[in-house]
Homo-oligomer: A and B are copies of this chain.
Amino acid sequence: MMLRTGFVRASGYAHKVRRVLFAVTRKKVDPKEVVRAAGELNQRIFEKLGELGVDKDDVIRVTVPFTIEEGTIRWDYEKLKIEVYRKSEERNLALAMEEVEERERELDERIKELEELALHLKKTSEEILEKLEELKQEHTSLKLRAEG
């Protein structure tokens, strides 16, 4: 299989690697392993970017083949490829990617708020079930959880 980040600002490659890896391995690999493997690859990319003198405002594109063996992701580092598009040369690309990053930050904020509401919702629905169980215990003849 192949991981392709597509165009991404150097400043944001790590999250992009992880997102794309989640998408491409969806339902095939445990999320913890995706997080681990992304972290491992990102460390390698980080070193390479240093060697290449890439700036955070430059745009890069990473491709790397990998295999999944018994639930573990193995990167073929030999074939890791990093393309670099310097801001000084591809100014519009760099600016466009900056805009994309800004919109992603806003999306993150929205999703975070949604998640807080959804967690609150789950808590409330559990409280309702708890109250119903107590009501069943003291006011009904219905089968209780404790009767399994």
Contacts and interface: CB of A to CB of B under 8 A. Distances in A.
Interface of A: 6-7, 12, 15, 18-19, 22-23, 26, 30-32, 34-35, 59, 85, 90, 92-93, 95-97, 99-100, 103-108, 110-115, 117-122, 124-129, 131-132, 134-142, 144-147
A1 to B, nearest CB: 16
Instruction: Count copies of this chain in the complex.
Output: 4
A108 B141 contact: yes
Nearest to A99: B6
Per DSSP, are chain A's interface residues mostly helix, strand or loop, or mixed?
helix
16 contacts: A26-B138, A31-B144, A31-B145, A34-B146, A92-B93, A96-B97, A107-B139, A107-B140, A110-B134, A112-B142, A113-B131, A115-B129, A115-B136, A118-B125, A122-B125, A128-B128
B111 A122 contact: no
Given A23-B137, A92-B93, A118-B125, 19 more contacts: A12-B141, A22-B137, A22-B138, A26-B138, A31-B145, A31-B146, A35-B146, A35-B147, A104-B139, A105-B141, A107-B139, A110-B138, A111-B132, A111-B140, A112-B142, A114-B135, A121-B124, A121-B128, A124-B124
B103 A139 contact: yes
Contact of A96 (B6, B112, B134, B146): B6
